[in-house]
Structure 1
Amino acid sequence: MRLTLRPQTRPSIDGRADEGRWAYRSDLDGLRAVAILLVVTYHVWFGRVSGGVDVFLMLSAFFLTRGFVRRMAGPTPVRPVRHLVGIFRRLLPAAAVTLTGVLALAWLAYPPTAWRAIWDQTWASLAYLQNWALAADAVDYYARTEIPSPLQHFWSMSVQGQAFVLWVGLLALCQLIVRRRGLSPDRVVAAVFGVVFAMSFLHSVVRTAAAQEMAYFDTGARLWEFAAGSLLVVALPHVRVNAVARAVVGWVGLGGLLVLGAVLDVRGGFPGFLALWPVLCAAAIVVSGSGDDGGRGPARVLSSRPLQAVGRDAYALYLVHWPILVTFQVVNDRVEVGLVGGAAIIALSLLLARAVTWAVDRPVRAWRRTDSSPLVPLAVVAVAVSVVALPLGAWQVSTWVKDRAIEAQAVRNNPGAGVLRDPSLAEIPADAELLPVPTLLDDEWTQLENPCAGRWSVDTETLFGTCFETARTARAGFTIAVIGDSHAQQITGALLPVAEENGWGVVSLIKGGCSMGLTEPGMDERCDAWREEAIELVERVVPDAVMTVVTRSDAGEDDEVLRPGIELFVDRMGDAGIPVLAVRDNPRFAFDMYGCVIAADDALDCATPRAASLADENPALVLERPGVDLLDLTPWICPDDLCVGVIGNVAVYRDDNHLTRTYARTLAPSLAEQLPSRLG
């Protein structure tokens, strides 16, 4: 059966308004300029976000939908796959140049501790998945956040890329329905994206209220902003207001957009319903300029030559400004950039944006116009990906080879706490590298290999993902459960070699920020529920002993103290007949100890007196009773009452308060000496 297409008249109340939505809109280029200037200004000087990104999200869907709707029922419909490849042909080259530039900056100016995160985020940004990587870090207690990511701003590009894939698919479906059923493109698009708007907006409000940090990067919580742009395309022909009203609507929209960042803390409440503000403001400006406003609306200002110039480079400016800002902060070791520094950052960003547009974006556009072959966009995408992937992959592989060579010499070159027990081990080659190496610092958490099973199985959401055990636990005749927060987790590193030697099983019940101080505030309200369920699991299974950290040190002026409510925990274990191995906390610092030692000429420059963090007498002594054994590793962490960052060519700390897994394992003999002889 042959399908015959008949020319269709698009329903319109005002023919001029309908025709106007297809015309080139210089005022929208100006709106993009205003949005990017708000983004850059608020990032540089105020450390806040402005809502400008929300404008970009809506406008991107507006332009994409407009192109589809215009051709849906005509003789030359949009080819979805080719159109999608063309979108990324347009986006990827400038993004690839930016990513490669960030890699060069990282190699030249960033500490090696930041390299691995930048590598991972470069891959995520290249794959348009950066928003999900940042969402994971936002709720990750263990993520290092000393240095802001120079690629953090790629979250919105990732959301946009994911939305483009979905939008092209949905618009292709709309096009198919229109051409097979002879329906109005406007009505089909309005129905489809009306549903998307409603579902996404509801999800956004609920998600933002429950977990705002996750919602901020959640694509599903942002789709309604794209849907608003699509709905605006089909609504424009039906907007009938006089010139004065158009002008008023436009100025109100522009004014609302300009004051948004100053009035609302966008970071704390977005996206949610608050994101309606910038979306509606942008929509008001689009509506205002879509018809005759008598020259009294903002369209004339937005079409001015300066804003047109900035709008032309808006995409490149968004890409380059954030890495320049973060690099300035890293090089100068300060967050505030000041008036002069901020002006210099913006000026440099404008210059680089112009260069990227001229040298990258414009030639790619020109190539596409002179060669219509479908292979052109594929070639551009392939080259752009290669420009990033090849140097990044080479850097990672070469670093991996070097790191493994260093680790292979660890027994001879990195004895750690062993030098305090055997001075002969202190004869370390002068060229021996420090362990752990910076690029493997994120691996310095002790994590048991298997999720809890058998007697230790967990069936509640609260405990899920927090209970792990060693491979031999199920068949071991003796089991120790380590329970508590990240400071209990790090001591597991010292326990494991002892357990391996004796054939013991080890179970870890760990949740970051949630100690066993039963009246101690946790990192969130979920700690209380987690503590109770974890303790009930231990009471039900009755291991041969539990180990936890019972004191808390301080990097400030406060003295080391018992964890509030730790006596209640010890009493419950006593009532259940479970011996307690009560570990004293390690020192904490007001600075990143690992960062200090790798930057200092002499690691002793980073040392602090033991008394600056720990009490003169172990506060846990009051807990001493039958069934409670005190473990204090302070002499092997702060020898001679000096807390140093390096012992036996091993970094003691991975940050400002957590021991490295590498050093914790070298503490095993000292821990074994303090364990009561009745164990095992």
Structure 2
Amino acid sequence: MSVTSTSSAEATASGRPYPAAGGAPTRFQPEIQGLRALAVLVVLLYHFWPDRLTGGYVGVDVFFVISGYLITAHLFKEAVKTGGVRLGQFWARRIRRLLPLSLLVLLLTAISAVLILPSTAWQATLRQIIASTLYVQNWILAADAVEYSKADERATAVQHFWTLSVEEQFYILWPVLLALTLMVLAFRQRRSGAPALERRQIRAAFLWVVGLLGASSLAFSIYYTAAAPAQAYFVTPTRIWEFTLGAIAALVLGSRQFSGRWGNLLGWTGFLMIAAAAVFYTDATPFPGWTALVPTLGTVLVLACGGREPGTGVHWWLSLRPATAIGDWSYAIYLWHWPVVIFSPYISDAARFWYVKVLLILGIIGLSALSTRFFETPIRRAKILLPTWRTMVAAGAGMVLVIVSGIAAVSTMQSGAADSTLTEDHPCYGYQALANPEECGAPFEGELGLFPSPAVVTEQYQEEAFPGCQAEEDAPGVQECWLGAQESEADGTIAVFGDSHATMWLPALDEIAQEQEKQLLVLTRSACTPRGGEVGDDSSECLKANAEIIDQLSEDESVDTVVIAASQRHFEFGGPSRDLGLDAEEYDLDDSALAMYEPIQRWLEADKDVVVFGEVPRMSNDEQEETLPECVALNEDDLSACNETLEDTRVGDRWLTRSAEVFADAEDYHFVPTEDLVCREDTCYAVLGGAITYSDNSHLARTFVRSTTAELTDRMEPALSGSLAGNSQ
């Protein structure tokens, strides 16, 4: 294996990875363009065929390594030449390279979103356009990844900007660290009276900084990927080490590469490491922890090693004109491709066919070539922007333009779609239309209009009606929330126990509690089925809290009534903590059913009135389908397209509904059916009396729940009157 050196030359004008080029390399390496082409094509194919190239997301990591390599090579060269790093000029160059095209894509996406996407997607898209413009998109996605109400939110047309956010944050951090390192070195040199800094001193200092930073980031990445994988994928600290791998390669190699037979073999090995990760990794692969070492170390091998022999040299293949051309356009390809992926299914159902996808990919490449040649390059080279201050001003103005334009587009379209004629006070609004067909006619298809709009209904689910009244799934301890009547005016307490499907009923239960002059104690937890069971040290926080709640309410004499509600879909779990005395064979009860019946049995034994809400229908069991508000927004001319047959909405065990038979003879047990609140005969309705029934596909919309308050009061009356009688004795 031999070591070769390539003569210095300026990199191609548009040669950047999908987030962007890290900086001007110290020498021209055409194979880097080919490596960029490989990375962007892997990402492209993954997004168009996610079930085929399941690990295509590793293309992102390839770009991060390339960026670290190029930016560090540039900064090291400048540090050796000038003894410092001119931060202002460095950032101005990055701005001229990155912002023009990214801001153009964001601006056109904002306008296209309100024209193509359903209204339910406008606010989420606007929110992420603003985050992308400010380069904090990755942190927004990390926060959303663990927020229960946004866990199923569909990807927006600018979600891919999270990678640019990570890269920009690195561009800010890394030059500052190197500049500070140089300042410290220069200060020590002056104090010791030594001559100016030498190349080897700067290299050694940079290697120490990058090594410590990279090792810390890798350790954190491995830890955090195991502890919080949803967040770890997006946050910057888990990705920094990928940039530092490229930085170390740049500092160690300088202008050298390993060639010859063994060098070429190592280069092909690196190429195959990237390809293998793209083919064999899946969404279930822990990432970006230690598994990200495979594609990133593979990228380092390709950068450091390879041959240029025609036909056999890995660098020869990567330097061919088709590869370098795709590499030249890779940044634009990355920016344009994801909006096309998101928008195309809304434009035509044919977008799902493979040949249409191929045409779309060819169109993306053509658009990228044109936008690079006629938009990005001229702006980047514009002499008027060469002064640093002008670049900064132009960048600020462009960012303001994108944000203001996005807000204006969404506001204009939403105001035009608002229906101000219908309100919740209408006698045929929501459930009332179903309850009074003779008075209200046939309101099932939305003759009254829509109030609120599909977009507002979607936001209702994402913005809690009663903030802080639902514990997070993994939060330790019992979280209490008090609603209903004031404590000084209340006569007894109604407790609510369950998961988010119990929280869903709070707008109605709060009103009922106030009317009954009772406090409402909310003890709900997201994704936590109301159940009992044996509690051990390794038990989930859900089960630990449930066990504590069961004991607490059993002993609390002020609690007259307990309301239980839950989703019909849940994980499997173990049985109850004790024998409940129920005939499991007669009622065909498994361990999950018995565990869910434990709190019911315990509270009946404690002389509580137990009100069990039946599971509500699930309007779509296909995880790939749109939410019900989105379906309504897309089918306002034919709302029946969003209805479901009753049988299709029954997708779980529905143990709470089946408890009506098990506890039929229990005097203090009260069952409240819920299916008939949205369904008649064999049809479950998407819209009733102008009210969209669901905020997603399984949680009833807040406004619709309020329309059921009078009906729920009647259905709960036996339990409420029983508790009042108990208090009067």
Superposed pair shares fold, TM > 0.5: yes
From 599, 603, 606, the equivalent of 1:569 is 599
Q: Which residue of the partner structure matches residue 336 of structure 2?
A: 320
Code of the residue aligned with 1:394 in structure 2: it is A
Q: Is the 8 A contact 2:419 2:452 kept in 1?
A: no
Q: Which residue of the partner structure matches residue 585 of structure 2?
A: none
- For the residues of structure 2 that align with 1:297 and 1:568, how far apart are their CA atoms? 69
From 639, 653, 662, the equivalent of 1:603 is 639
Q: How much is the aligned-residue C-alpha RMSD, in angstroms?
A: 3.7
| 1:254 matches 2:261 | no
Structure 1: give runs of 5+ residues left out of the alignment: 1-13
Code of the residue aligned with 1:318 in structure 2: it is Y
- For the residues of structure 2 that align with 1:538 and 1:480, how far apart are their CA atoms? 10
Distance 1:550 1:222, change over 3 A: closer
| 1:44 matches 2:85 | no
Deviates more, 1:341-350 or 1:99-108: 99-108
Secondary structure in 1 matching 2:219: helix
- For the residues of structure 2 that align with 1:488 and 1:179, how far apart are their CA atoms? 64
Question: What is the deviation of 1:204?
Answer: 1.0
- For the residues of structure 2 that align with 1:442 and 1:349, how far apart are their CA atoms? 32
| 1:364 matches 2:379 | yes
1:509-658 to 2 correspondence within 5 Å?
509-518=523-532, 527-539=542-554, 543-549=559-565, 552=568, 563=593, 565-590=595-620, 592-598=627-633, 599=635, 601-610=637-646, 612-613=648-649, 619-621=658-660, 622-624=662-664, 625-640=666-681, 642-658=683-699
Code of the residue aligned with 1:41 in structure 2: it is L
How far does the alpha carbon of each residue in 1:14-65 deviate from its partner, in whole angstroms, 9 at most, with x for none?
Answer: 9958989722222212211221122112322344342111011111122222
Q: Is the 8 A contact 2:97 2:376 kept in 1?
A: yes
Question: What is the deviation of 1:274?
Answer: 1.0
Q: Is the 8 A contact 2:37 2:323 kept in 1?
A: yes
| 1:674 matches 2:688 | no
| 1:340 matches 2:355 | yes
Q: Is the 8 A contact 1:473 1:506 kept in 2?
A: no
Q: Is the 8 A contact 2:492 2:519 kept in 1?
A: yes
- For the residues of structure 2 that align with 1:174 and 1:381, how far apart are their CA atoms? 28
- For the residues of structure 1 that align with 2:428 and 2:151, how far apart are their CA atoms? 24
1:256-295 to 2 correspondence within 5 Å?
256-265=273-282, 268-288=285-305
From 334, 341, 365, the equivalent of 1:350 is 365
1:404-553 to 2 correspondence within 5 Å?
406=420, 409-412=423-426, 415-421=429-435, 424=439, 432-445=448-461, 447=464, 449=466, 451=468, 461-463=475-477, 467-470=480-483, 474-475=487-488, 476-518=490-532, 527-539=542-554, 543-549=559-565, 552=568
Q: Which residue of the partner structure matches residue 225 of structure 1?
A: 242
- For the residues of structure 2 that align with 1:121 and 1:666, how far apart are their CA atoms? 33
- For the residues of structure 1 that align with 2:106 and 2:427, how far apart are their CA atoms? 37
Distance 1:110 1:629, change over 3 A: same
How far does the alpha carbon of each residue in 1:572-609 deviate from its partner, in whole angstroms, 9 at most, with x for none?
Answer: 22344433211112222336443444415343454445
Secondary structure in 2 matching 1:470: strand
Secondary structure in 2 matching 1:142: helix
| 1:141 matches 2:141 | no
Code of the residue aligned with 2:367 in structure 1: it is L
- For the residues of structure 2 that align with 1:566 and 1:229, how far apart are their CA atoms? 54
Code of the residue aligned with 2:432 in structure 1: it is G
Q: Matched residue pairs, number? A: 652
TM-score, normalising length: structure 2: 0.80
Code of the residue aligned with 1:363 in structure 2: it is P
How far does the alpha carbon of each residue in 1:197-231 deviate from its partner, in whole angstroms, 9 at most, with x for none?
Answer: 11111111112222322211121111110111222
- For the residues of structure 2 that align with 1:223 and 1:25, how far apart are their CA atoms? 24
Distance 1:409 1:319, change over 3 A: same
* Percent of aligned pairs sharing the same letter: 26
Q: Which residue of the partner structure matches residue 112 of structure 1?
A: 119
Distance 1:619 1:118, change over 3 A: same
From 308, 314, 325, the equivalent of 1:309 is 325
- For the residues of structure 2 that align with 1:403 and 1:99, how far apart are their CA atoms? 24
Question: What is the deviation of 1:506?
Answer: 2.0
Distance 1:442 1:610, change over 3 A: closer
Question: What is the deviation of 1:340?
Answer: 1.0
Question: What is the deviation of 1:94?
Answer: 1.1
Distance 1:391 1:235, change over 3 A: same
Secondary structure in 2 matching 1:552: coil
Question: What is the deviation of 1:347?
Answer: 0.2
| 1:381 matches 2:395 | yes
Deviates more, 1:593-602 or 1:14-23: 14-23
Q: Is the 8 A contact 2:85 2:178 kept in 1?
A: no
How far does the alpha carbon of each residue in 1:403-450 deviate from its partner, in whole angstroms, 9 at most, with x for none?
Answer: 776388442487212234555466999985312312212333484546
Distance 1:333 1:67, change over 3 A: same
Q: Which residue of the partner structure matches residue 174 of structure 1?
A: 181
Distance 1:187 1:492, change over 3 A: same
Secondary structure in 1 matching 2:49: helix
| 1:395 matches 2:409 | yes
Q: Is the 8 A contact 1:473 1:507 kept in 2?
A: no
Question: What is the deviation of 1:669?
Answer: 0.4
TM-score, normalising length: structure 1: 0.86
Q: Is the 8 A contact 1:448 1:468 kept in 2?
A: no
Q: Is the 8 A contact 1:96 1:388 kept in 2?
A: yes
Q: Which residue of the partner structure matches residue 211 of structure 2?
A: 194
Distance 1:560 1:439, change over 3 A: farther
How far does the alpha carbon of each residue in 1:154-205 deviate from its partner, in whole angstroms, 9 at most, with x for none?
Answer: 1211211222222122122122223333451111111111111111111111
Question: What is the deviation of 1:73?
Answer: 4.1
Deviates more, 1:246-255 or 1:296-305: 296-305
How far does the alpha carbon of each residue in 1:441-485 deviate from its partner, in whole angstroms, 9 at most, with x for none?
Answer: 233348454647xxx999x94247x64333855544432221111
From 641, 664, 667, the equivalent of 2:705 is 664
Distance 1:176 1:474, change over 3 A: farther
Q: Which residue of the partner structure matches residue 162 of structure 1?
A: 169
